[in-house]
Amino acid sequence: MCIRDRHPDDFAAVAWLRANVAGQPVILEATGNPYSYFGRFSANTGLPTVLGWANHEGLWRGHDRAVLARRDDVFRMYNATTLAEIAPLLDRYAVRYILVGDLERQEHPAGLEKFAELPVAFTSGGTVVYRR
């Protein structure tokens, strides 16, 4: 099954990103294990993300500390309780869009409320694309 069938809200966000986002702005999405559903927005749009599959990158880059730092930064950006806490990280990685779907809610349930302060670029069911 494909993303359209199993995760229609994420598929709608992917379609919106493809149709409405120009250039190569960085997106923020949850990171996790390779060969999993993590990295779904960047993989299906071609947009750069802060980090897709950390372990996969480690295999190619010899467990570079920069990869682990990015993983920790993604966790911090999702888990922090205020936007002020993560503004330097969002700036460092030039994050323009923040994705929150079921996977982000599952992995980072505590810190997602802060994103409601940002403008909503797109929403479909439980998937929201915030614009920064």
Read off the pLDDT of residues 54-72 as tens digits, 9 standing for 90 and up: 765 555 555 677 888 999 9
Question: Comparing 48 with 62, which gets the higher pLDDT?
Answer: 48
Short-list 104, 95, 101, 115, CA closest to 47? 95
Say what the pLDDT of residue 63 is.
Answer: 63
Question: Distance between alpha carbon 76 and the CA centroid of its chain, in Å?
Answer: 12
Q: Please, what is the average pLDDT of the chain?
A: 91
Better-predicted residue by pLDDT, 128 or 6:
128
pLDDT of residue 33: 79
Name, in order, each residue with C-beta under 8 angstroms of 51's C-beta and a sequence gap of 6 or more.
Answer: 31, 57, 67, 70, 71, 73, 74
DSSP for 29-76, written as a single string: ---B-TTSSTTHHHHHH---BS-SBHHHHHHHHTS-HHHHHHHHHHHH
User: What are the tens digits of pLDDT across the range 79-99?
Assistant: 999 999 999 999 999 999 999
pLDDT-above-70 percentage for the chain: 92
Quick one: tokens of 49? 């993300």
Q: Are 78 and 108 in contact (CB under 8 A)?
A: yes
